[in-house]
Amino acid sequence: MKTPLNRREAGVSLVELMVALSIGLLLTVSVGYILSGSLQIFRVQGENARIQESSRFLMDTLGRQITQAGYAAISTDYSDPKLAFAGTPISGEHGVVATRAGERKDGSDYLAVSFDASTDCQGNAAASGTVQNEFFLNANEELVCASGGGAPEVLADGVETFQVLYGVDADGDYSVERYAAQPGDWSQVRTVRVCAVVRAFSRGTSPTAQQYQDCSGTPQTAPDTRLRRVLSATFQLRNRGL
């Protein structure tokens, strides 16, 4: 008969336990850091995509509207005596909040374009065959479109600034001599230059306060850590002969 051997249970020392805990903690922190960085990259990319999509839609919409200013739907069967557009193709206000005073953000510009069309900027039927579409920034920093004095509809949100300059042809040679914020004679306007500053919704999408040039070309430092993008485009008034 064999006598069973006495065996002592083997364990880990305190030093080994501390080393294992340290390695586990290091791995946990590393995984958390990688996850946090991935989430931040995902958030920044999402905000960038939103800004780009909003910017593209905004400028495309404004461009289509402005280039149609003054368009006259002249009949080809010679039964319509209309030979030219009878309304005011383009008008606006620079900073002064007179039109839509209860809705506009103070200091933002107001732009109105008019032309013959079957639908307005909101897709509603134009009863008279002529539309007057208004574009302005509201108190919620949303660029909106309204038509015929009706309720506005949001085109883009997160818009901090909306500024408009008008290319003036004072001598009638169909060449723009200067850009003015408030032309004295709207019939001399040949082009329209639109500028907008669009920002991200979330703070922390920029590592530091962003440095950028505003619509007037003045260097600015953002008041927070949101991403911002400055949009600028010049559109020709095709129905003015330029």
Mean pLDDT of 145-155: 92
The reported pTM is 0.79
pLDDT at position 220 over 80: yes
Is it the case that residue 65 has pLDDT exceeding 60? Answer: yes
Find residue 167's DSSP bridge partners.
179, 191
**Domain chopping of the chain, boundaries:** 40-75+82-240
> Which of 84 and 177 is assigned the larger pLDDT?
177
- Cα-Cα-Cα-Cα dihedral of 126, 241, 99, 215, to 10°? 120
Count CA atoms closer than 13 A to 53's CA, side-chain side. 8
Nearest one of 122, 124, 146 to 134, comparing CA atoms:
146
Q: In the chain, what percentage of residues exceed pLDDT 90?
A: 48
pLDDT of residue 28: 79
**H/E element holding 21?**
helix 14-67
Answer for the pair 242, 174: CB distance below 8 angstroms, yes or no.
yes
pLDDT at position 20 is 76
Q: Note the pLDDT of residue 169.
A: 93
Lowest-pLDDT range of 59-73, 74-88, 145-159: 74-88
Residue 204: predicted pLDDT: 74
